[in-house]
Structure formats: structure tokens, C-alpha cells
Structure 1
Amino acid sequence: MLRVTLEQWRMFRSVVQFGGFNQASQGIHKSQSSIHNAVGKIESSLDVKLFEIEGRKTVLTQAGELMLKRANFLLDEAAKLEIVGHTLGQGTEGSLKIAVDEMFPQARLYKVLDTVSAQYPMLQIELVESVLSGASELIENADVDIAISPVALTEGFSEQLCQIDFIAVANPDHTLHSLGRDLTAEDLKSHRQIVVRDSGMHRKSDAGWLGANQRWTVSHLRTSIDMICSGLGFAWLPLTSIKNELAQGKLKTLPLQHNSKRSMQLHLIFKDGDSLGPAARAFLAELRYQCEELQ
């Protein structure tokens, strides 16, 4: 028989989260006395001191810090358990939210979505297109169910999905192509580079060669491709995204002396596989199959 309830642990955590008993009372809409009683029950039941007063502040003791880590794990697992139960009770989920990095091959993605929709005609799919850390951030904030991202999760599930190759390209009439020789980094510095902005809010990162003196930054890969086709600069672009433009002569690979091709690993990520419903699992299976075809 457990001596402490989940609700008592939740009240203990709220005191830490909100910075005191009075603030916690307002934050979780419980009386201050009930929160004091809950914390007192934990301390008396386990014979441990959780808080101490320093000036006007309520701070954790060393034992309290350790108990908080365990309480966080316990409460998070309890929340996951409820989600799993809800998923099982509902059967097939009604909606599926997916974040996909824009470098992922669109044709493959469309096949996956079409196959899953054929299996689950009533499924509402919401697709969020992202760049670099954006998809991982959406997963961490629980804004999507599944993500395809170049940034792996430190917690949760991360699986290497596929590798995307990038090449440096420009319009065939661009000045860089008229030099008639292999290009150096110094050659590139003198010309405008088009870069796609990281869609994440907190861990923004840059990818690709960024040595150009002049740079235009855009929000979408498609914008970058259109600009390069129009002769407005050069860029490192995913090979799978520009095959048509290369075949049609709208883009031409730059003859670089070194590092003519670069690669980035994409990961399949989600928080908790047990909370995913049958439609989400069907999406994962078809996605893996399509990525095997890429190899």
C-alpha cells in the first residue's frame, strides 16, 4: 500500500514549479492549507524534510531535490499511462499530427500519406513543414505526434531514417559557371548564398556552408529553389528536391574543388510508442518502407 498519493506528489511539484505555497495555490487552484497538508503528509509518511525557508523563499532541501526527480518521473509516467488508456479506449485515432523537415523527399512523403489515408479514410492528417530544429521542438512541446527531423531526441524514441545528400547549385547562366574551372571557397565568398531559416524557436542552428559575404535567408526550401533557378544566387540544396530542375537545365551543379557533396541524417522521432494509435503505427510502417526504397 502506497503511503503517498499521486495528487500529493503533484502538489509537492507545484510548490517547486510556482516558487512557493501561496503561488502554487493560485497556480493549481487549490487552497494553501491543502497544499501544506499534502507536503506535510509526504514528509511525515517518509520521514524526510522536503523544503526549508531561506529569507522569504521556500527552497528544496538536498533530499527534496532528489525526491523531485523521482516525483517528476512518477507523474510523467502516470500521464503517459492515461494517454495509452485513452488511445486503447478510443480505438483508431481521429487525427494525426506530423512534423516533417522540408528536406525529406516530398514524393515519398505523399505516398506514405496516401497509403495511410486509404487504410483509415476518416483520419484527419495535419502536416507541419519545418526546417532543422523545428520538428524536434514540436515533438518536445507535444504539438505533434510524430516528427521527421535532422535533430534527434535526447529523451523519447529516435531512429535513423534516411540520409539526404546536398549539392551546391546555381542557375546555368550564373557567373560562377562562367569561370571555367573548379571553384574554391574564396570564389563562393564573392557571391550571394541563399539560406533556409531554422524554424525552431529555441535551438536555432545553421547548416551548410555559410561563408558567403552576402546572404539571403528565407523560410522555405521551395523559395530557395525558385530564387536559385532565377539566378539570384547559389545554395546547397537536397538532391532529391531538385532532380526536375537539374534535368530541365534550370539548375547546374557547381564544380567545387572540395566537398562537392554533403549529407545530413534524418531521424524518425516520437515521445512514447505506446501512446500511438493504429493509424500512427501504419504511418511509421509505410514511412520505413518508403525510406528503404531510397537506399
Structure 2
Amino acid sequence: MLKTTLEQWRMFRSVAEYGGFNQAGQEVHKSQSSIYNAVQKLENSLGVKLLEVKGRRTHLTEAGELMLRRANYLLDEAAKLESIAQEVGKGCETKLRIAVDEIFPQDFLYRVLDKVSQEFPMLNIELQESVLTGASELLAQEKVDLAISPFIEHRGFSEELCLVEFVAVAHPDHPLHHCDRPLTFDCLRSHRQIVVRDSAMGQGQDSGWLGADSRWTVSHIRTSVEMISRGLGYAFLPITAITEQLNQGLLKPLPLGSAGRRKGQLYLMFNDGDMLGPAARTLMAEIRFQSEQISVIQYPRTASE
């Protein structure tokens, strides 16, 4: 059985924070005697002197400094515990697990997460970034509550979210931009393609044109973007991931006409709507709102297109 109470630790901290029993009483709206008695009981229970009076101020002893650090942690955790209990009492989740495909624009994702966290400050969000069927697999295995994926998990609920445009790009100095004949897919075969690996642990899914004789396979879109920006190959990449590089002239759409562009559908998915709390529903509503803005992000067509 514990010898001390949270209230005693709170009174002790207030004396240490405000420099005396009288000052603490004024701040926490307690009488000086009640604070003094609480601290005295605390010291007697522990058998340790926590405070000593020097002049007109009360100071921490060496043991008191150690105990104060621990008390701060204890009281902060107690306050968090009460906040969590209030959230749970309202039916709010304490944790939300989501898997998001890397082609979903990061700027939009960050806005969604920030908005939800402002409304539910005690919510812990676990984000897993995935590629191709990775998000669907995580949802199927019930490792996440929500998923944004280009591939549908048929056992749950899914809705069309947005279309993401892909464009074939390479560095402006790449040989593909300086061919002496119209560029075709046959021309691409002899140059290195950068491909992003499916993040699913099971049977992965190939996607897009994979006809190059030489391929480098990487795990993340940002790795592909960096490689291509250095002239190490070409790839079909989502416009939303390369807008900055296009504007800076580090990447340039390949002159393939309409064949150099394609669109990928993203889906918002979950397994059981009845299991989703208010935080999850708020997140879904914000994702829908932000996704409506994605279609306006397009890079101007070149003359050849």
C-alpha cells in the first residue's frame, strides 16, 4: 500500500515552485497550514527531509531535488491519465493507426494529421507509409484502422478518393531528352528505369510500364526522385511528389505525348465502420476535403503533348 498521496506531492511541488508555504497557499488556494501539514506528512512517511528554510525562503534539500523531478513526472502522468479517461468516457479513441500510400501528397497528409490532432490533442497517431499493395495488406491483417491505397481490399469498405497524375520524367541533361528521333517506349528500353518496390510482405504487385532492360528498384518514392534528379535514370512519378523539382528544372517530362502521362486512383478504406470513433471519422472527413483539392495540382503540358 502506498504511503503517500498525489495531493501531498502536489503540495510539495507547489512549495518548491513558489518558494514557500505562504506563497504556495496563495497560488493553489489552500491555507498555509494545510500545505505545511501535507508536506510534513510526506516527509514523515518517506523518512526524508525534502525542504529546508533559509532566511525567508524555503529551499529544496538534495533529496528534495531528486524527489521533485520524480514528482513532476508522476503528477504530469496523473494529469494525462485523467485527460485520457475523459476522452474515453466521451467515446474517443486514444490511438489511431493509418496506412497511407506514398503517392498521396505529403502536404495534404500533414494538414489532415495536424487538423485532427488539434481537435483531439490526446490522440496518438501511428502512420505507416506504404507502396502499391502495402496499405491494403496492412488493413487486411488488421494492423491499421484506415488505409489509403491504389488497390482495393475487397473484404472491407472502400470509396474512391482521388486521382493522382503520373508523368514520365528524367533530368534535363538525360540522353532521353536529346534523341535525334521522336521518343517512343522502344527508346526507353535501353535506358535505366527507377522502380519503387511494393511494400507488401506477401505477394507484391507490379505497376506501370516495366519494359526497361535495366532497372534499379528502391523502397521509397523520394529515393527515386533524388536518383532521377541526379541524372541516374527515368521513371513515372506522381506530379504531387515532384512539383518542386519540375519548377526548379531538376526534372523534365519526357516528350512521349499523352503516353508519358497516366492517372492512378486512390481509395479510402476501412474494415468496420462501427468500430471507428469520432477521431477516425474526423480524419476521414478531412481526407475527403483535402483530396478534392488534389485534382488542381497539374504540371503544364509540353508542346509535344
TM-score using structure 1 length? 0.69
Q: Is 1:154 aligned to residue 154 of structure 2?
A: yes
Q: Is the Cα–Cα contact under 8 Å of residues 181 and 255 in structure 1 kept in the other structure?
A: no
| Superposition CA RMSD, Å | 1.5
- Using the alignment, how far apart are the partners of 2:201 and 2:162 within structure 1? 25
1:201 positional shift = 1.8
- Using the alignment, how far apart are the partners of 1:260 and 1:108 within structure 2? 25
Corresponding residue of 2:200: 200
Q: Secondary structure at the match of 2:223?
A: helix
Corresponding residue of 1:251: 251
Corresponding residue of 2:99: 99
- Using the alignment, how far apart are the partners of 1:182 and 1:258 within structure 2? 13
- Using the alignment, how far apart are the partners of 2:268 and 2:88 within structure 1? 23
Q: Please give the residue correspondences for 1:1-295 in structure 2 after superposition, counting only pairs within 5 Å.
A: 91-257=91-257, 259-295=259-295
Q: Percent identity?
A: 58
Q: Secondary structure at the match of 2:259?
A: coil
Count of residue pairs the alignment pairs up: 209
Return structure 1 stretches of 4+ with deviation > 4 angstroms. Answer: 87-90
- Using the alignment, how far apart are the partners of 2:111 and 2:242 within structure 1? 18
Unaligned ranges ≥5, structure 1:
1-86
1:138 positional shift = 0.2
- Using the alignment, how far apart are the partners of 2:282 and 2:165 within structure 1? 27
- Using the alignment, how far apart are the partners of 2:90 and 2:200 within structure 1? 32
Return closer, same or farther for 1:163/1:258 CA change in 2, 3 Å cut-off: closer
- Using the alignment, how far apart are the partners of 2:153 and 2:133 within structure 1? 10
Corresponding residue of 1:37: none
Partner amino acid for 2:169? V
1:241 positional shift = 0.7
- Using the alignment, how far apart are the partners of 2:224 and 2:198 within structure 1? 13
- Using the alignment, how far apart are the partners of 1:251 and 1:293 within structure 2? 24
Corresponding residue of 2:300: none
Q: Is the Cα–Cα contact under 8 Å of residues 197 and 219 in structure 2 kept in the other structure?
A: yes
- Using the alignment, how far apart are the partners of 1:206 and 1:183 within structure 2? 24
Q: Deviations over 1:187-242 (max 9, x none)?
A: 10000000000001223111111000000000000000000001000000001110
Corresponding residue of 1:8: none
Q: Is the Cα–Cα contact under 8 Å of residues 182 and 257 in structure 1 kept in the other structure?
A: no
1:258 positional shift = 5.2
Q: Is the Cα–Cα contact under 8 Å of residues 99 and 127 in structure 1 kept in the other structure?
A: yes
- Using the alignment, how far apart are the partners of 2:244 and 2:213 within structure 1? 29
1:89 positional shift = 6.3
TM-score using structure 2 length? 0.66
Unaligned ranges ≥5, structure 2:
1-86, 296-305
1:185 positional shift = 1.0
